[in-house]
Amino acid sequence: MSNAPYRYVIIGAGPAGLSAAATFAKKSSKVLVIDQYQIPGGQYWRHKYGANFPEKEFEFLLSSPFVEWKLHTSVWQIEQVKGRFLLHLRTSGKTNVIEVDKLLVATGAIERSIPIPGWTLPGVITAGGLQSLVKGFSTSPGNSILIGGSGPFLFPVVESLLSLTDPPEIKGVFEFRRLSRWWRNIPGLLLNPGKLLDAVKFLIFLKRNNIPFFSGSRISSIRSVGDSLSVEVVDSRGKVLRELSKIENVAISYGFTPDLTIPSILKLEREIVFGEESVKVNSRQGSSIRGIWAAGEVTGVGGHELAISEGKIAALNMLEKNFASVFAKLTRFRQRIFARGLAEIYQPPREWIDWSKEDFIICRCEEVSKSEIIDSFEKLGADSARTSKLFTRAGMGMCQGRICHRNVTDLAERFSDNKTGIASVTRPIGGAVTLGELSD
Amino acid sequence: MPSFKFDGEQIPFENGDSIAAALLRSGISKLRTTRFQGQPRSIFCGIGHCYDCLVSVNGIINQRACLAKAEPDLNVVSQKGLNE
């Protein structure tokens, strides 16, 4: 047990968390920042160990006397006692507990992986995982790669791959949604014209680097042949467009969904924001529990600029200086309109259920197949991802459903009788802890 | 260059590398096999969420190769199933 309680604690050192930390530091208030990685920045500002912090505006935090860091530290349990919070931490296999007055949850998002036949093969990686290798370790997983999925995240992934000194050959970028869907986001674009420019720049960039780009297409299956992968690409009607062989890597991303691990431990209220289950917050980023605020992707996936404005609003409110956040609130308003439009354009396709007639693994940890999960709904009476888990073990493995929960929920909506039985994310602990550590 | 051992083979790494990054750079992508079907798995989410890249490090099993820091003379062993 620690001694004096911490007044302000931020979980997550990504754009929202660091923006909040900067706000505290500028107001000369001490703050503790916890992150599970070795270096702050989150996924968006992921950078090489020892390199300069990628965003000048927040670099000062690293040496600020007001900021205390607990890095490589995960929060695996939180208790609420007499209006305070007891955070159970784990750093390199050692556990300890700290007491906190006011808590900001800025734990970001996780990738929305859509399962396809062959997605468990070595060489297949999420686009976010690829980005982390490139930005964090200047490493490509191989020499030839295909990139598929949907959403604006595919842009920076291609860009950073090509920035490597020895980049892999990018044999194609396959975007599921047609570019013409951008007309759906006219209000968002008018308020954020720079974003349209980014999209145009990306298309020019692809052309200049001779990277084939197909909109309205998707990677439909991946097979292991000898030491490499064979990949089938189809159009939106399922007609085969291409069959590519001797591919080393396939990177796929269908966008992001809030990481609700910490919010589910705290039992924070949720709501659907931009199509995904997110933490419900008020206009001051306050959550349903007094003393807890939330900011960034965890309250609705909308990109780093939105996260920065939310982090600032949250911190100012935690400091009871709410009047100072007017400018940040305007940015938040503008960014939310853009995010809403993007979410509509790049909606993760629920049709994935019908994409393949093959049976294949949905829950990677427990190796549970699609047909087993469907059977649990049709024959065994499961009515949600949670009850299906009891029958099939889907979501019961070490990742606690982080990868499969969302997809099992899609299956539940389609195949169970109970159309209102959509279970929201529940994860009783924040990450794997050994019994030995607990008994210490 | 410092190195660690993976299934008996010496793997060089750069300061700050994760175990997974160093292995991929050496052309090794198969990190373990699954418990029920014995299928090979590699790094997937790359950021510690999916627990697919599990390896044993100095005798401690279930370490995520994407998060675990590469350090000199570590003994990293690919896992067969979850618990061996």
**Which domains does chain A possess?**
6-110+257-344 (3.50.50.60), 113-254 (3.50.50.60), 359-415 (1.10.10)
Tens digit of each residue's pLDDT (9 = 90 or more) over B18-63: 999 999 999 999 999 999 999 999 999 999 999 999 999 999 999 9
- Exposed (0-12), middle (13-18) or buried (19+): which is A95, by Cβ within 10 Å? middle
CB A10 within 8 Å of CB A33: yes
Asked whether the predicted pLDDT for residue A148 surpasses 50, the reply is yes
Nearest CA to CA, how far is A123 from chain B (Å)?
A: 7
* Separate counts of helices (H) and strands (E) for chain A: 14, 21
Closest CA to B51 of B33, B63, B69: B63
Tens digit of each residue's pLDDT (9 = 90 or more) over A58-117: 999 999 999 999 999 999 999 999 889 999 999 977 899 999 999 999 999 999 999 999
Q: Compute the distance between CA of residue A259 and CA of residue A126 in angstroms, rounded to an integer.
A: 16
Query: Which of A50, A126, A142 has the CB atom closest to B46's CB atom?
Result: A126
Confidence at A192, pLDDT banded by 50, 70, 90: confident
Residue B20, both tokens: 């997974």
Exposure string for A61-88, b = 16+ CB within 10 A, e = fewer: beebebbebbebbbbbbbeeeeeebbbb
pLDDT at A73: 94
The alpha carbon of residue A189 and the mean position of all alpha carbons in its chain are separated, in whole angstroms, by 23
Chain-chain contact of A403 with B45 (C-beta, under 8 angstroms): yes
Residue A369, both tokens: 């197949």
Chain-chain contact of B42 with A110 (C-beta, under 8 angstroms): no
Closest CA to B74 of B83, B84, B66, B60: B60
The topology under which CATH files domain B3-80 is Ubiquitin-like (UB roll) (3.10.20)
Nearest CA to CA, how far is A124 from chain B (Å)?
A: 7
| Helix ranges restricted to H, A192-318 | 193-208, 261-266, 304-318
In this predicted complex, what is the ipTM?
A: 0.96
Chain-chain contact of B41 with A38 (C-beta, under 8 angstroms): no
> What phi and psi values does residue A227 have, to the nearest 5 degrees?
-95, 0
Chain-chain contact of A126 with B45 (C-beta, under 8 angstroms): yes
Asked whether the predicted pLDDT for residue A256 surpasses 80, the reply is yes
What are the strands, taking DSSP E only, across A298-383?
A: 361-363, 368-369
Asked whether the predicted pLDDT for residue A421 surpasses 50, the reply is no
Question: Measured between CB atoms, does B12 come within 8 Å of chain A?
Answer: no
Chain-chain contact of A130 with B46 (C-beta, under 8 angstroms): yes
Tens digit of each residue's pLDDT (9 = 90 or more) over A199-224: 889 899 999 999 999 999 999 999 99
Residue A111, both tokens: 């990738």
Greater confidence (A200 vs A26) lies with: A26
Which residues on B lie below 8 Å from A141 (Cβ)?
A: 24, 29, 43
Chain-chain contact of B42 with A38 (C-beta, under 8 angstroms): no
Chain-chain contact of B49 with A403 (C-beta, under 8 angstroms): yes
Tens digit of each residue's pLDDT (9 = 90 or more) over A343-394: 988 988 989 999 999 999 999 999 999 999 999 999 999 999 999 999 999 9
Which residues on B lie below 8 Å from A43 (Cβ)?
A: 47
Closest CA to A385 of A342, A426, A345: A426
Nearest CA to CA, how far is A150 from chain B (Å)?
A: 16
State the DSSP H helix or E strand holding residue A155, giving kind and residue range, or none if neither.
helix A154-162
Query: Which of B15, B44, B49 has the CB atom closest to A50's CB atom?
Result: B15
Q: Which residues partner with A218 through β-bridges?
A: A234
Asked whether the predicted pLDDT for residue A398 surpasses 70, the reply is yes
Nearest CA to CA, how far is A419 from chain B (Å)?
A: 28
Which residues on A lie below 8 Å from B49 (Cβ)?
A: 110-111, 259, 399, 402-403
